[in-house]
Structure 1
Amino acid sequence: MATACIDKRAYTEKETATYIGMSRSFLRQSRMEGHRGNRTIAPPFIKIGTAVRYLKEDLDAWLDSHTKRDHLSQGGDFHA
């Protein structure tokens, strides 16, 4: 019996952390605390019952929303 390969639309916290290259603790803290100060805003998430999921299209949009920089001094926030 062959198994079909299904492209996932909703990712678990662990899958999301791997996909975006951030830690699970970043996702948890930002989800619980919301946006604070100069922290990176977390990607949007959904809840299905008690399960937290992240939609692939939201993750892609979140990644695309971050400015690409040639070097650290472009942001104005970096002080050596």
Structure 2
Amino acid sequence: MASRRSAVVDVAPESSSLPSRYLTPDDLVEMFDLPSVETVYQWRRKRTGPRGFRVGRHLRYDPADVQAWVESLREGTAA
């Protein structure tokens, strides 16, 4: 039987504050101090949040995509 391991990705040095693994919806709740995981699912349904992908039935986020999404929000508010 194969052991369960978390998927690991290399993260660019400038994003060293992000974990070096794929993120779960719960990770996003913790990172952004959201009221519940339902907020993350609403973002996905409305296509307003970071790009996510499915691994079987599990939703995951690449830390680089989350960082790119945050940067796009910053650029939208910079005036």
Q: Is the TM-score greater than 0.5?
A: yes
Partner of 2:74: helix, strand, or coil?
Answer: coil
1:1-80 pair list within 5 angstroms: 7-23=19-35, 24-31=37-44, 33-35=45-47, 41-67=48-74, 69=77
TM-score, scaled to structure 1: 0.59
CA distance in 1, matches of 2:22, 2:71: 18
TM-score, scaled to structure 2: 0.59
CA distance in 1, matches of 2:34, 2:60: 15
Deviation at 1:29? 1.4
Q: Is the 8 A contact 1:30 1:42 kept in 2?
A: yes
Identity %: 20
CA distance in 2, matches of 1:59, 1:20: 11
Partner of 2:67: helix, strand, or coil?
Answer: helix
Q: Which has the larger radius of gyration?
A: 1
Q: Which amino acid aligns with 2:68?
A: A
How large is the RMSD of aligned CA atoms in angstroms? 2.4
Structure with the bigger percentage of helix = 2
5+ residue gaps, structure 2, are: 1-7, 9-18
